[in-house]
Amino acid sequence: MSTSMSSALLTDHYELTMLQAALRGGVAFRKATFEVFARHLPDGRRYGVVAGTGRLLDALRDFRFGERELAFLRENRVVDEPTLEFLSGYRFSGDVYGYREGECYFPGSPILTVEGTFAEAVLLETVILSILNHDCAIASAASRMVHAAGSRPIIEMGSRRTHEMAAVAAARAAYLSGFGSSSNLMAGHLYGVPTAGTAAHAFTLLHDSEKAAFQAQIDSLGAGTTLLVDTYDVAEAVRTGVELAGPDLGAVRLDSGDLAEVAYAVRAQLDELGAHKTRIIVTSDLDEYTIAALAAAPVDGYGVGTSLVTGSGAPTAALVYKLVARQDEEGVMRPVAKRSVGKPSRGGRKYAFRRLDGSGTAEAELVTVSGDRPEGVRPEGDRPGGIRPLQAELVRGGEIVGAEPLEAARERHRRSVAELPATARQLARGYEAIPTVFDE
Amino acid sequence: MSTSMSSALLTDHYELTMLQAALRGGVAFRKATFEVFARHLPDGRRYGVVAGTGRLLDALRDFRFGERELAFLRENRVVDEPTLEFLSGYRFSGDVYGYREGECYFPGSPILTVEGTFAEAVLLETVILSILNHDCAIASAASRMVHAAGSRPIIEMGSRRTHEMAAVAAARAAYLSGFGSSSNLMAGHLYGVPTAGTAAHAFTLLHDSEKAAFQAQIDSLGAGTTLLVDTYDVAEAVRTGVELAGPDLGAVRLDSGDLAEVAYAVRAQLDELGAHKTRIIVTSDLDEYTIAALAAAPVDGYGVGTSLVTGSGAPTAALVYKLVARQDEEGVMRPVAKRSVGKPSRGGRKYAFRRLDGSGTAEAELVTVSGDRPEGVRPEGDRPGGIRPLQAELVRGGEIVGAEPLEAARERHRRSVAELPATARQLARGYEAIPTVFDE
């Protein structure tokens, strides 16, 4: 954290030894195409959400081997001098295409395509997968929670349950998928995610009485603040809170017990005290299922921590980065694929489209290895119906051309998930919401 | 990644609003004691492993609010001007005690104790928990894998399955728990973790034939390299590998199929070809259970990815940071505890000891709120038997005094887990290996 850092060493050792061997063997500069895709979604999930592309473009920009990185590689004899020489001038000069952030994806969707020389493209595997596997996992879980919550806002508050930098990326991914805000200040600083929060139990315990704590909080943060009311006795705390703040008390937060039961009791008490507008926020190990179970309860907002940052049972997205085509000894691009048992891959550069019916509902993910667009393709933005291309240009000749505001990704996700059949938004375990159709 | 960064914004919004309200209310400088502990271990686990303390001390050193951080907080009206003024001069000046890295822990073990003013200690909650919850989760899973592998080495190769910086911390935590090496170059650079790796399927696919790929790898990395032999046909690849490298071929790696069955076949083939010393390394979604299931198979080493970086089902350690004592209005330190349903906490600063029987096997975790040491306490390092104190001084008056080499933590873990009863090392779900005895 304390020093400026290149992303170049966020890389597996073997990417560099492969580079060394390829340089020596004279094949390092063969043109190559790598694709990122998931062989399957997490068990029972109906769609995935693309997230992390913006962070990935930042990491690509910072992927340089400076003096410190080269010194480390030399001292530890990771690679030989010709390879270090290559790395010292490394700068990705190829092209990257991909699904835009917020877009839904399915098994086999080619969510990222990297085209360049083998040498320049192979080096990016680790950092690309790290970013996408994490951020897609979080965004995919977050999207389900947002739909479970309906119109009620959710605050992301899981920073303390995951790695300190993963926390920042998780807050970004959750916001992209529709969370209203995050507790994480760095996510506000780096990505403009709205941040929120008021007080923890420690604040109440710090004071000689709960009343003194509430008075101090109201004095400083105003009557519109959210008071945490379960440190001692909930009913007494609610009474004290309304007594001190009046009916303009912004909200009370419940963080323990049977949340539905307590919410009903607290709503009745608030109404009786005339605090009809005081909202009830619930937290405490919520996930999409417990959020859904509270749909009928008088709850005005949710705070979600652990289950969000751990992907609600699927902390990684199982995305892989596979070589699908490369030049042969005559310089001709050839599709390639391994035949490993249970892990087959499809050779050739893929093109992807989403087919929509006349009402604008998605019917299929079309994946083709021919560059020809299927019939009926319409320009992006022209809705509904027809066939929508899914890949956009992100990097052209090493220059980043696909950066966009996080708000654009958030809006895209809203549209992308709305376009899926209604079954996609069911929480129950099921199959992919639409089939992936390979046209080979 | 591109800019030098303080750790100060790796913090929940509410830590700062609590600070603001406490400053205004005049209670911010009450002396306070916070403790980090787990109410429970992940389901079925028998011990936890302390990890992340070294990283935490780095984050503490870098926890400063500079101009950029203050500008963000001001522009977004997170806190008021008096609070910004306090933050601009923030520097932790208190004391920190804790279990040393590598030590085993149990429910209620006070693995970290932070003493200072409420103002300075409350701000550290988020970053402390982020680091410890992540690193302890990974180290705890890693320790089980190391014991499942017995004397066979394990390489950590999960970087691509987790956030890019979490990957570095995961590599560090895995090494601490006994993994032999990692694929992650940044973990080598930052923490001196040995790194390793040779080639992926992409390297074979890059070449016009598997033979050409193996030849290129051997030419560059030597006959002692590890060839990945499952891109096409394993038996053919093994034959080709030994043909090209001779009996000095270092190792072959199997990454698909029924690993035990394939390993037996490959071992027989290698022996038949005279490559008796060529080792067999297996990878492919291994966890502690599949590692154990391969105990009888002719396997010489394991590579573990996804399950390591996701904590093998427990990606976070459920550690909390609780205010346990603070000064009252007369300046007297008072124990405090919340009474939330299902989430009780014990008031008062805790002291922790491990009681060992005459043979040096751990019998109990003793946790007391009195500063008096239990009878029979012996100095650290004086083994076996007796009562071993578990907390060490890490920060004194704001100065870091507890930094130590990662190798020391690794060695400590080896001793700490060896000291537990044999049941601790069983993989099957069970209860804590020793009881936590609270003496209140």
Through-space distance between the first and last CA atoms of chain B, rounded to whole angstroms = 47
Residue of B nearest to A221 (CA): B21
Q: According to the model, what pLDDT value does residue A371 have? A: 73
The segments of chain B whose pLDDT lies below 70 read 1-4, 344, 373, 375-384, 440
Q: Which two tokens stand for residue A409?
A: 């990704």
Question: With 0-12 CB in 10 A as exposed, 13-18 as middle and 19+ as buried, what is B192?
Answer: middle
Q: What percent of chain A has pLDDT over 90?
A: 92
Residues B295 and B336 occupy one common structural domain = no
Q: According to the model, what pLDDT value does residue A1 have? A: 38
Name the residue among B105, B69, B318, B274 with its Cα closest to residue A309: B318
Q: Which residues of chain A lie closer than 8 angstroms to B25, CB-CB?
A: 207, 212, 215-216, 219-220
Across the A:B interface, residue pairs with CB atoms under 8 Å apart total 367
Beta strand B48-49 pairing with A319-327: unpaired
Domain count, chain A: 2
CATH of the domain at A272: 3.20.20.70
B69 in Cβ contact with B8 (< 8 Å): yes
Residues A262 and A330 occupy one common structural domain = no
pLDDT tens track for A151-201: 999 999 999 999 999 999 999 999 999 999 999 999 999 999 999 999 999
Residues A423 and A353 occupy one common structural domain = yes
CA A19/CA A258 separation, integer angstroms: 57
Domain membership of residue A174 (yes or no) is no
Domain membership of residue B380 (yes or no) is yes
User: A68: which DSSP letter?
Assistant: H
Q: Which two tokens stand for residue B311?
A: 């904590």
CA distances from A62 to A101, A163, A168, B41, B344 (A): 20, 21, 18, 39, 46
Residues A19 and A66 occupy one common structural domain = yes
H/E stretch holding B383: none
Q: According to the model, what pLDDT value does residue B3 have? A: 41
End of a domain among B255, B283, B313? B313
Please check the confidence at residue A3 and state whether its pLDDT lies above 50: no
Residues B71 and B126 occupy one common structural domain = yes
Residue A80: which domain range? 13-138+314-439
Average pLDDT over residues A262-274: 98
Domain membership of residue B340 (yes or no) is yes
B199 in Cβ contact with A16 (< 8 Å): no
Biggest CA-to-CA distance, chain A = 83
Rounded to two decimals, the pTM is: 0.97
Beta strand B112-117 pairing with B31-38: antiparallel
Instruction: Give the residue from B163, B179, B215 with the most A CB atoms within 10 Å of its CB, the best one to mutate.
Output: B163
Place of tokens 């917020």: A102
Residues B304 and B319 occupy one common structural domain = no
Close Cβ partners of A422 (under 8 Å, ≥ 6 residues apart): none
CA B92/CA A160 separation, integer angstroms: 19
Residues A286 and A319 occupy one common structural domain = no
Q: According to the model, what pLDDT value does residue A440 have? A: 61
Residues B344 and B330 occupy one common structural domain = yes
Domain membership of residue A149 (yes or no) is no
B368 in Cβ contact with B439 (< 8 Å): yes
pLDDT tens track for A354-413: 999 999 999 999 999 987 767 666 655 555 678 999 999 999 999 999 999 999 999 999
pLDDT tens track for A335-355: 999 887 777 678 999 999 999
Q: According to the model, what pLDDT value does residue A75 have? A: 98
Residues A133 and A228 occupy one common structural domain = no
Nearest Cα of chain B lies from the Cα of A424 at a distance, in angstroms, of 25
Domain membership of residue B5 (yes or no) is no
B285 in Cβ contact with B297 (< 8 Å): no
Domain membership of residue B354 (yes or no) is yes
pLDDT tens track for A312-335: 999 999 999 999 999 999 999 999
CATH of the domain at B126: 3.20.140.10
A366 in Cβ contact with A353 (< 8 Å): yes
Domain membership of residue B3 (yes or no) is no
Decide if A338 and B232 are in contact by the 8 Å CB cutoff.
yes
Nearest to A216 among B21, B127, B168 (CB): B21
Chain A, window 63-82: residues with a beta carbon less than 8 angstroms from a chain B beta carbon = 68-69, 72-73, 76, 78, 80
Provide the b/e sequence for B249-286 (b: ≥16 CB within 10 Å).
bbbbbbbbbebbebbbbbbebbeebebeebbbbbbbeb
Chain A, window 371-430: residues with a beta carbon less than 8 angstroms from a chain B beta carbon = none
CA B412/CA B54 separation, integer angstroms: 14
pLDDT tens track for A35-48: 999 999 999 999 99
Q: According to the model, what pLDDT value does residue B144 have? A: 98
End of a domain among A265, A294, A323? A294
Place of tokens 């699927």: A314
Decide if A208 and B328 are in contact by the 8 Å CB cutoff.
yes
Residues B252 and B356 occupy one common structural domain = no
Domain membership of residue B7 (yes or no) is no
Residues B352 and B393 occupy one common structural domain = yes
Q: According to the model, what pLDDT value does residue B62 have? A: 94
Q: Which residues of chain A lie closer than 8 angstroms to B200, CB-CB?
A: 14-15, 18, 125
**CA atoms B156, B160, B161, B163: torsion sign:** positive
pLDDT tens track for A95-137: 999 999 999 999 999 999 999 999 999 999 999 999 999 999 9
Write down how long chain A is. 440
B169 in Cβ contact with B157 (< 8 Å): no
Residues B21 and B128 occupy one common structural domain = yes
Provide the b/e sequence for A180-190 (b: ≥16 CB within 10 Å).
bbbbbbbbbbb
End of a domain among B313, B335, B353? B313
Q: According to the model, what pLDDT value does residue B440 have? A: 61
B285 in Cβ contact with B262 (< 8 Å): no
